[in-house]
Structure 1
Amino acid sequence: MKLVLLLISFLVSPALLAALHEENVEYRAGDTVMKGYLAWDDAKGAKQPGVLVVHEWWGLNDYARQRARMLAELGYTALAVDMYGDGRHSEHGKDAAAFMNAVTAKAGLAQQRFEAARELLVGRPNVDAAKIAAIGYCFGGATVLNMARQGLDLAAVVSFHGNLVTETPAQPGKVKARVLVLNGAADSFVSPESIDAFKREMTGAGANYRFVDYPGVIHGFTNPDADRLGKANGLAVAYDAEADRKSWAAMRELFDEVFKP
């Protein structure tokens, strides 16, 4: 009987009952209401590193949420960031371009919205405010690189198939974050010239960075919906399972280095 009771106690222990938590959150950036998505697993620790997930140009959709959940399963509290306001997203290229251009056309707006999300994340009681990173895809990849260029207090940023071009290049000593760029070598949206310029910029700024090319891989390689979306919108994007796996592993390796003792 004692053995049975012990087994029952073990099976219903709080650690085993704990599950992935999901929460839709509203916050403000200036006068705009932002609608983000939080994911965490309290079985992974009382104080966790936080990771901001910045969406592709499609907006805050299920794909960005899935990446946040994947991070939560690894022991991070992840916030899928709303960069467009009111949770806007679309599967139509014209709409997505309009959403993105509305943010990028106004100086400082992207940073304001990113920092509002960061403030929300570091304020969570289960987040270690000294351990914050950011990852981004496509538009989001460019966004997190620009936040690193501006010297935001981030432990690491990871860009997946993100644009490398910027009007505000990093200045010497400015970049605090470890920088990881994961790029498709056949990406028609990222020119060889922009890659060379990015490497010169990071070297000149004294940044701790790593650039990884995946041969034969094109834009959007991490998103399983890329083929469908590309066909519907006439875009040169495609999913690549191997590059997806390798790029996620590279991100995990970096986070292990910057977050674990």
Structure 2
Amino acid sequence: MKNLNCIFLGLIMYSGYSFAQLQPVQYKDGAQILNGFKIAPANKSVEKPGILILPAWRGIDKLSKDTADKLSKLGYYAFIADIYGEGNYPKDNNEAGNKAGFYKKNFEAYQKRINLALQQLIAAGANPNNIVVIGYCFGGTGALEAARGHLKVKGAVSFHGGLAKDHSRPTEPITAKVLVCHGADDPYESTEEVLAFQKEMRDTKADWQMIYYANAVHSFTNPESGDDNSKGAAYNEKAAKRSFEHLKLFLNEVLKK
């Protein structure tokens, strides 16, 4: 028994975050089984602020789990959403692109999956009136869709996410505060898309901010993206650290703790 305890402790230490606190949660969209993760804050407060985390296009990954752990240490409830569902997880980037593309096109289905995860965050203990949604890449698009879809969130944060929406969609007022953390050299967002997004924010009279990070391309927050900017997606340690600090400032402003 002593040896087993030592092995278990070693696994926790090796993981880089606390498996004991990050707990799997199974929930459903109709018959579709979804598998998310929840984590409680290290120090709970009366206001019970919550963060909904939307992963990148490959689904729940180490980055989203590490982020949940960091946020719990800062005093937030966190929930990592499963957008694709059991049996639909992409096996490679090609599949991920197709599946993410479906939800970008069918934005109402995306908003529904996000809202289902939002309800799980609330069930885990977060105050329904004190929540921010954040997302990475495809998940960054989702965070903006949560704001566009008037989901009950006080703020939406996109890290190197897709900014565009179909031009045929009406532009409606956005009440959630918006933060976009964007790689200055991201090749996947055209100048036209960036300008259209900024116009959307102005037209909706949103409370928004967009921060550019020098020498950063797509996926700059993810250490698993490599370090070759010429590939269009690469980790940038300085940009990752700066963007997380900007996230903390945003959360301190938007959420009561």
Q: TM-score range by the shorter chain?
A: 0.7 to 0.9
Distance 2:255 2:105 in 1: 34
Q: Post-superposition, which runs of at least 4 consecutive aligned residues in structure 1 deviate over 4 A?
A: 87-91
Preserved CA contact (<8 Å) 2:43 2:73? no
Q: Within 5 Å, which residues of 2 pair with 1:75-224? A: 75-86=75-86, 89-90=89-90, 92-124=92-124, 126-167=125-166, 171-172=171-172, 174-224=173-223
Partner amino acid, structure 1, of 2:61 = N
How far residue 52 of structure 1 moved from its aligned partner, in angstroms, is 0.6
How far residue 104 of structure 1 moved from its aligned partner, in angstroms, is 3.4
Normalized per residue, the structure richer in strand is 1
TM-score normalised by L of structure 1: 0.84
Change (3 A) 1:241 1:89: farther
Instruction: Give CA-to-partner distance per residue, 1:118-138, whole Å, 9 cap, x none.
Output: 1111123x3212101100000
Q: Does 1:236 align with 2:232?
A: yes
Change (3 A) 1:137 1:169: farther
Preserved CA contact (<8 Å) 2:140 2:161? yes
Preserved CA contact (<8 Å) 1:60 1:88? no
How far residue 146 of structure 1 moved from its aligned partner, in angstroms, is 1.3
Preserved CA contact (<8 Å) 1:157 1:179? yes
- Of stretches 215-224 and 86-95 in structure 1, the one that deviates more from structure 2 is 86-95
Preserved CA contact (<8 Å) 1:221 1:244? yes
Partner amino acid, structure 2, of 1:245 = K
| Matched residue count | 238
How far residue 169 of structure 1 moved from its aligned partner, in angstroms, is 5.4
How far residue 107 of structure 1 moved from its aligned partner, in angstroms, is 5.0
- Of stretches 243-252 and 61-70 in structure 1, the one that deviates more from structure 2 is 61-70
TM-score normalised by L of structure 2: 0.85
Distance 1:184 1:80 in 2: 23
Find the counterpart in structure 1 of residue 9 from structure 2. none
Change (3 A) 1:208 1:116: same
Q: Does 1:55 align with 2:68?
A: no
Q: Does 1:39 align with 2:39?
A: yes
Distance 1:99 1:244 in 2: 26
Distance 1:222 1:91 in 2: 22
Change (3 A) 1:119 1:210: same
Distance 2:37 2:26 in 1: 9
How far residue 42 of structure 1 moved from its aligned partner, in angstroms, is 4.5
Preserved CA contact (<8 Å) 1:59 1:87? no
Preserved CA contact (<8 Å) 2:71 2:78? yes
- Of stretches 141-150 and 89-98 in structure 1, the one that deviates more from structure 2 is 89-98
Distance 1:102 1:169 in 2: 16
Distance 1:54 1:235 in 2: 24
SS in 2 for 1:237: coil
Q: For structure 2, which runs of at least 5 residues remain unmatched after alignment? A: 1-18
Change (3 A) 1:106 1:194: closer
Find the counterpart in structure 1 of residue 22 from structure 2. 22
Q: Does 1:260 align with 2:256?
A: yes
Instruction: Give CA-to-partner distance per residue, 1:64-114, whole Å, 9 cap, x none.
Output: 111111111111111010011128545621121233234334452111111
SS in 1 for 2:100: helix
RMSD value, Cα? 2.3
- Between the aligned residues of both structures, percent identity stands at 29
SS in 1 for 2:53: strand
SS in 1 for 2:130: strand
How far residue 34 of structure 1 moved from its aligned partner, in angstroms, is 0.6
